[in-house]
Amino acid sequence: MIDTLLLSSLLKGTLSTAKYIFVGDYYQFPSVSQGQVLKDMIDANLLDVVKLNCLYRQTEGSYIVNLAYEIKNKEISINLLNIVFFRMMSPIFSYPRAKSVVVCGDVHGDFLKLVYDMCVSHDMHNTLVIVAGDCGFGFDDYLCYKNLFLQYIEKYLIKHNCWIAMVRGNHDDPSYFSEQKMSHRRFCTIPDYSVIEACGHNILCVGGAISIDRTYRLDEMENNPGKTYYWHDEAVRYDAQKMQSITDSGIKIDTVVTHTAPSFCEFITKKGLEEWMEVDPDLEADCDNERKQLDELYSHLRRDGHPLRYWYYGHFHHSWNSEIDGVLFRMLNIAELHEFPTSR
């Protein structure tokens, strides 16, 4: 972006026998002062010019590279614009340095145990861990979580080159996820309908579930003013518009991480549901609707031809897995860790 006057001063201040190599971008914005020195020199056809056509700053197939080429050649496609629009409207979390992906069951606020299991018990390196809900955000002050991660957890994640991405559960304040209150390069809360790109996988994350003990939690809040034990917008929701945006973007989902599960997965009912139904007349219908929301999500993925292979969830505090119609569904127990296959 050198201008005419600055180049003139440079040439006057160097030896007449000096050789010059000008490196720059022909399509760069012009300098603030007068002149487009590099562009004019190239257009004059008086100097030897070498053009670099391969870009190494982005991964192969990156939409950024493709968009740059299409803009340069004035051939912008609708499909690529859909991808760009989706990435602007819906969060994409990319972990190109991760060499493995592990999914974790509910942690219920015990983040120190999670990091101990990651970095000490299993000695993980270069690993992305996705927590499938019930992280435990919202029961304490925001600064408590921030200080915990920055003062005690971050150093271990950096040392082992690991990351933690957290999906919303029913025992989480939804604002921590929708507003990405925990947004750090090593640990972050993931908004619903975000896509994680890691190890060759496109992982759709959708949080939320019903608390079967919500009447008890509401009573506790009434008896303890200022304390929060329940959030009214805890439920999972099927969002057809966001799913259509994902499909239109061309992103192919092969893995889903949710907190609860579709109706055809175990457990059919959560332990203790019948007892809580006696004091909560709407509970059974709400729990049925919860599972139907994920039935709709599953159907949408199938209908739009996504290459779905894996589905992970927590919530039920048990371990279970089964392959259903070519998809491996896996329920994770509390703090259970499971590594799933990489596509590289």
At 66, the amino acid letter reads N
Same domain, 252 and 137: yes
Q: How many domains does the chain have?
A: 2
Largest CA distance in the chain: 94
Q: Are residues 108 and 198 in the same domain?
A: yes
Average pLDDT, the chain: 90
Is 85 contained in some domain? no
Rounded CA-CA distance 128/167 in Å is 13
Question: Where is average pLDDT lowest: 148-152, 212-216, 265-269?
Answer: 265-269
pLDDT digits (tens, 9 = 90+) for 179-236: 989 988 899 999 999 999 999 999 999 999 999 999 999 999 999 998 999 999 999 9
How far is Cα 227 from Cα 256, in angstroms, rounded to an integer? 33
What is the pLDDT, as a whole number, of residue 220? Answer: 95
pLDDT of residue 72: 75
Query: Is the same domain home to 260 and 179?
Result: yes
Whether 175 shows a pLDDT value over 90: the answer reads: yes
Tell me, what's the pLDDT at 90?
62
58 and 198 housed in the same domain:
no
Percent of the chain with pLDDT over 90: 67
Q: Are residues 203 and 58 in the same domain?
A: no
Q: Could you tell me if 237 and 130 lie in one domain?
A: yes
pLDDT interval class at 91 (50, 70, 90): confident
User: Are 73 and 206 members of one domain?
Assistant: no
Question: Residue 114 is part of a domain; what is its CATH number?
Answer: 3.60.21.10
**Contact by Cβ (8 Å): 254, 308:** yes
| Residue 344 pLDDT > 60 | no
Task: Examine the domain organization and report whether 9 and 115 are in the same domain.
Answer: no
For residue 208, what are the domain limits? 91-340
Whether residue 302 is found in the same domain as residue 325 = yes
Q: What is the arrangement of strands in the sheet containing 327-331, beginning at the earlier edge strand? A: 92-94, 194-198, 201-206, 255-258, 310-313, 327-331, 320-324
pLDDT band for position 85 (cuts 50, 70, 90)? low
The per-residue pLDDT for 104 is 98
Beta strand 337-340 with 100-104: parallel, antiparallel or unpaired?
antiparallel
Note the pLDDT of residue 32: 83
* Lowest-confidence pick of 35-39, 82-86, 339-343: 82-86
